[in-house]
Amino acid sequence: YKLLQSQGFGSRKWCKSLIETGYLQVEGEEIRDPDAKLMPEEGLMYNIGDEEFQYRTKATILLNKPVGYECSQKPKENPTVYDLLPEIFQA
């Protein structure tokens, strides 16, 4: 479940339930044990149901927020700082 949680799929409880119900496949092999030890590597392919994903390592981005931008993914009045990031980091 830690692999799914690190990729932003939800809480520990939600990720465990996805695995226990058979929704996770890693490299074509169904995983049903939430405590299974997986060694994630860049490029590892896994499926949640019918949708395929590729493992991504985390990145930390430092950005000096320009005046007039909001630090929100749902800005109310001004553009969001997320628009300033390269497209690969906006997913």
Task: Please provide the average confidence, as pLDDT, over all residues in the chain.
Answer: 81
pLDDT(3) > 90: no
Question: Average pLDDT in the 60-86 region?
Answer: 86
pLDDT(91) > 70: no
Tens of pLDDT, residue by residue over 32-52, are 888 888 777 756 777 788 888
At residue 24, the pLDDT reads: 84
Identify whether the C-beta of residue 46 lies closer than 8 Å to the C-beta of residue 26. yes
At residue 69, the pLDDT reads: 92
Prediction pTM value: 0.54
